[in-house]
Amino acid sequence: MVKKSSVEIEDLEFWDKEKFQNRSLNIWGGPKEVISIPVPDDVILCDACNTEITESPVPVYLGNALCPKCFRELERNIKKEKRDGS
């Protein structure tokens, strides 16, 4: 289970695995051709590093799913920005 953030992060959400169901990838095959490929409901990949995410809930920042490692890195960066006054 992923720990909720200890720092306030705007645009951060935590999604249950059910929210990732019934997804598909759309690939543009030509000027007017779109190919839709279904994504298995049990496959959730980190949008930053492509690691498979097995923990729940999944941290989602600005629409991007994050694995625990990338989520910790986001937290560190946000804390540093707040500390530095950026």
- What does each of the 86 residues of the chain score in pLDDT, given as a tens digit? 566 666 788 899 999 999 999 999 889 888 889 999 999 999 999 999 999 999 999 999 999 999 999 999 999 999 888 888 75
- Please give the pLDDT value at position 19: 95
- Please give the pLDDT value at position 25: 87
- Please give the pLDDT value at position 67: 97
Answer positive or negative: Cα dihedral of 82, 83, 85, 86: negative
The first and second tokens of residue 79, run together, are 């804390």
- Please give the pLDDT value at position 5: 62
CA–CA gap between residue 67 and residue 53 (Å, rounded): 6
pTM value?
Answer: 0.78
The first and second tokens of residue 36, run together, are 């839709």
